[in-house]
Structure 1
Amino acid sequence: MTPLYRHALIISSILLLCTAAGSAALGQASLPLSRMIPVLFGFGTETESFLLFDIRLPRILITLLAGAALAVSGAVLQGLTRNDLADPGIIGINSGAGTAVAVFFLFFPISAGSFIYVLPLVAFAGALLTAVCIYAAAYKKGTGLEPTSFVLIGVGFSLALSGFMIVLISGTDRMKVDFIARWLAGGVWGTDWPFVAALAPWLLLLVPLVLFGSRSLNVIGLGEQAAVGLGVPMKRTQILLILCAVALAAAAVSVTGGIAFVGLMAPHIARSFSGADYRRTIPLAMIIGAFLLVLADTIGRTVPVTDGIPAGVVVALIGAPYFVYLLLRGRA
Structure 2
Amino acid sequence: MMTIKQRFFAYTFAMIIILLAVMYANLHTGFSDMSNADLIRILFGGGNAVEHITVFDFRLVRTVLAVFIGMGLAISGAIFQTVSRNELASPSLLGVNAGAGLGVVLLVYFAGSTTAWGIWTLPTVAVAGAILAALLIYALSCRGGEVISPYRLILTGISMSAGFHALQVLLVTRLDPNKFYLVNTWTIGTISGNTWEHVWILAPVVVILSLILYARYMDLNLLSLADETAMGLGVRINLSRFIYLIIAVLLAGFCVAIGGSIGFVGLISPHIARRLIGANHAYFLPLTALIGAILVVGADWIGRSIIAPDEILLGIIIALVGAPYFLYILAKTKA
Q: TM-score range by the shorter chain?
A: over 0.9
2:106 corresponds, among 91, 99, 103, to: 103
2:69 corresponds, among 66, 91, 95, to: 66
The runs of at least 4 consecutive aligned structure 1 residues that moved more than 3 Å come to 108-114, 140-143
**Paired residues of 1:65 and 1:200 also in contact (CA < 8 A):** yes
Unmatched 5+ stretches in structure 1:
none
**Paired residues of 1:85 and 1:151 also in contact (CA < 8 A):** no
* Secondary structure of the corresponding residue to residue 312 of structure 2: coil
Distance 2:310 2:179 in 1: 17
Distance 2:98 2:310 in 1: 24
- 1:32 and 2:32 aligned: no
- Equivalence map 1:272-311=2 (5 Å): 272-304=275-307, 307-311=310-314
Give 1:318's aligned amino acid: V
Distance 1:194 1:114 in 2: 14
- The change in CA–CA distance for 1:164 and 1:37 in structure 2 (over 3 A counts) is same
- Equivalence map 1:219-238=2 (5 Å): 219-238=222-241
Deviation, structure 1 residue 103? 1.1
Cross-structure match for 1:200: 203
- Equivalence map 1:1-332=2 (5 Å): 2-108=5-111, 115-141=118-144, 143-304=146-307, 307-331=310-334
Superposed CA RMSD: 1.8
57-66 vs 105-114, greater mean Cα deviation: 105-114
Give 1:171's aligned amino acid: R
- The change in CA–CA distance for 1:109 and 1:294 in structure 2 (over 3 A counts) is farther
165-174 vs 176-185, greater mean Cα deviation: 165-174
**Paired residues of 1:99 and 1:126 also in contact (CA < 8 A):** yes
Deviations 1:104-124 (A, max 9, x none): 233245785853223222111
**Paired residues of 1:69 and 1:203 also in contact (CA < 8 A):** yes
Deviations 1:135-182 (A, max 9, x none): 122233454222222222212222221121111121121100001011
Deviations 1:186-243 (A, max 9, x none): 1224521111112112113211221122211100111112111111222221111111
Distance 2:112 2:221 in 1: 44
**Paired residues of 1:81 and 1:145 also in contact (CA < 8 A):** no
Identity %: 35
- The change in CA–CA distance for 1:187 and 1:111 in structure 2 (over 3 A counts) is closer
Distance 1:306 1:134 in 2: 43
Distance 1:190 1:99 in 2: 22
- The change in CA–CA distance for 1:50 and 1:305 in structure 2 (over 3 A counts) is closer
Deviation, structure 1 residue 16? 0.5
Unmatched 5+ stretches in structure 2:
none
Deviations 1:220-270 (A, max 9, x none): 111112111111222221111111100010100111111010000111111
* Secondary structure of the corresponding residue to residue 287 of structure 2: helix
* TM-score normalised by L of structure 2: 0.94
Number of residues of Structure 1 aligned to a counterpart in Structure 2:
332
Give 1:148's aligned amino acid: Y
Deviations 1:46-92 (A, max 9, x none): 33212111110111111111110000100000001100000001221
